[in-house]
Copies of this chain bind each other. A is one copy, B any other.
Amino acid sequence: MSKNLTTRSEDYSKWYNELVVKADLAENSGVRGCMVIKPYGYAIWEKMQAELDRMFKETGHQNAYFPLFVPKSMFEAEETNAEGFAKECAVVTHYRLKNDPDKPGKLMVDPNAKLEEELIVRPTSEAIIWSTYKGWVQSYRDLPLLINQWANVVRWEMRTRLFLRTAEFLWQEGHTAHATRQEAIEESEKMMHVYADFVENFMAIPVVKGLKTETERFAGADETYCIEALMQDGKALQAGTSHFLGQNFAKAFDVKFATAEGKQEYVWGTSWGVSTRLMGALVMTHSDDNGLVLPPNLAPIQVVIVPIYKSDEELEKITAVVTDLMTQFKKLKISVKFDNRTTQKPGFKFAEWELKGVPVRIAVGPKDLENGTFEVARRDTLSKEVVSKDGIVNYINDLLETIQNDLFQRALGYRQNHITEVNSFEEFKEVLENKGGFLSAHWDGTPETEEKIKDLTKATIRCIPLDRVDEQGKCIFTGAESAGRVLFAKAY
């Protein structure tokens, strides 16, 4: 199979777009800005979902489902949130089509079926969920509410890119309600840590945990926690956010509870989400010019076995050995595919599975049968080794773990090489231009400076790292006092 993949150094953006399509992850649909997630891509998303869902349940959350539509009056109740999303809302105004009298066989919107009140297709579900929580919370005994939803949401983006920015995307959104401010803050922090754990240990992508500045905060939140990852082109990608909502939604939707002492108080809230955007982060962190590189934890196929043969008789002998091997893999829950297609040559198969990022490839031919060996190739390093068939299964099992760790370490190394402390705006621009990555710099804390830097350089403050050290310094732009560094970067 011919890959014809643009290389990363030629055009990183084009490389990404081509790879997502050629590796069968997703494609653009006939609907502006909306994607089709293809089976191979969806299988990866399902693995992410299963693991996240397990982690959410382990931390006491339950799933539920809330409506796709939000009536306009409900949507606008929390004003900051409504204003933040108003410009990207798909709006349902009618509920019926009818035959177009002027065009036989065509339909038109029935003007007699106009909704009394417009419905917003949810861009996020705080409004509909908090309007529901009002009915669920009376007393402190009803708290906390720890609820998650797997859903589709719509944000009408003008410039879209597969997985990274699409008009419709899939996500999970957690929405919790608490009796105290402290408990809600702890919940938002806990979920940020859950996300970081998932992204680092399951997706092998290192992240920085931090707080968003006021400018970058979720509309309607008092505080937004985030995890920020770094792509191979030196641009940052926000991989997940967790919001402390204060009492903003409780006040907008009048959600009060009776305390143990009988007082009426507003409930404290959080919300947190990750989306199919993570698929983009996955591709851009690990993959190379030959195609996808998948961490074993997320690979729909972890091991592919390709037979090398010249006759049916040879294939038969190989098949017998492979069948036995596959049984052993399956016992260890290693997902394995025997690519015994007779329509394609081994070279084509090698290239195809390389493109699709299968972590380990085993090739087996008549020589191997004689010698009792297999040829084992790693996708991440493209290295090959001849391995004796004795103990091959444990060898592969360990290798998958090694690959998972190596991918993380490699990405971590890259990230560590791309956090640069800068101490002047000149240096800031120079590093941003020539090296990219995160720039660790002093900032005077004002939205005005943040905006000016963004206008001049396209770099934004990705986060105020949670682990930053107290360090007096001068803002690189205004020279005003600063109490610690923040991370700037160009971002997806």
The answer, among B66, B86, B94, B98, for a CB contact under 8 Å with A97, is B86
In the assembly, what is the distance between CA of A86 and CA of B135, in Å? 35
Q: How far is the CA of A241 from the CA of B364 in the complex (A)?
A: 46
Given A31-B128, A87-B96, A91-B109, CB of A46 within 8 Å of CB of B69: no
Residue among A38, A68, A91 with the most chain B CB within 10 A?
A91
CA distance A43 to B61 in the complex (A): 12
Tell me if A31 and B93 are in contact (CB < 8 A): no
From B69, B89, B94, give the contact of A91 (CB < 8 A): B94
A451 touches B (CB below 8 Å): no
Mask of A17-47 contacts with B, CB within 8 angstroms, 1/0: 0000000000101110011111100110110
Tallying the copies of this chain within the complex gives 2
Tell me which residues across on chain B come within 8 A of A36, comparing CB atoms. 64-67, 132
Q: Does A411 sit within 8 A of B, measured CB to CB?
A: no
Asked if A449 CB lies within 8 Å of chain B CBs, one says: no
Contacts A75-B107, A90-B119, A93-B91: A39 and B68 contacting too (C-beta < 8 A)?
no
Q: Tell me which residues across on chain B come within 8 A of A106, comparing CB atoms.
A: 76
When C-beta atoms are compared, the residue in chain B nearest to A26 turns out to be: B65
Complex Cα distance A24/B154, Å? Answer: 28
A314 at the interface (CB under 8 A from B): no
The yes or no answer to A152 lying at the interface (CB within 8 A) is yes
Task: List, in ascending order, chain B residues with CB within 8 A of A90's CB.
Answer: 69, 92, 94-95, 119
- A70 interface residue, CB < 8 Å from B? yes
* Contact partners of A97 in chain B: CB under 8 A: 72, 82, 86-87, 89, 91, 120
- Cβ of A388 within 8 Å of any chain B Cβ, yes or no, is no
Q: Tell me whether B67 and A39 are in contact (CB under 8 A).
A: no
Question: Is residue A421 contacting chain B, with contact meaning CB distance below 8 A?
Answer: no
| Shortest distance from the beta carbon of A18 to any chain B beta carbon, whole Å | 16
Q: Given A82-B107, A95-B91, are A62 and B42 also a contact pair (CB < 8 Å)?
A: yes
Among B43, B64, B68, B71, point to the contact of A63 (Cβ < 8 A).
Answer: B43
Contact A105 B76 (CB under 8 A): yes
Q: A36-B64, A42-B65, A71-B30 are in contact. Are A95 and B105 (CB under 8 A)?
A: no
Contact check, A147 vs B39: say whether CB atoms are below 8 A apart: yes
C-alpha spacing A43/B36, complex, angstroms: 28
Residues in chain B near residue A152, CB distance under 8 A: 68, 151-152
The interface of chain A, by Cβ under 8 A from chain B, is: 27, 29-31, 34-39, 42-43, 45-46, 62-72, 74-76, 79, 82-83, 86-99, 105-107, 109, 118-121, 128, 131-132, 135, 141, 147, 151-152, 154, 156, 168, 170, 343
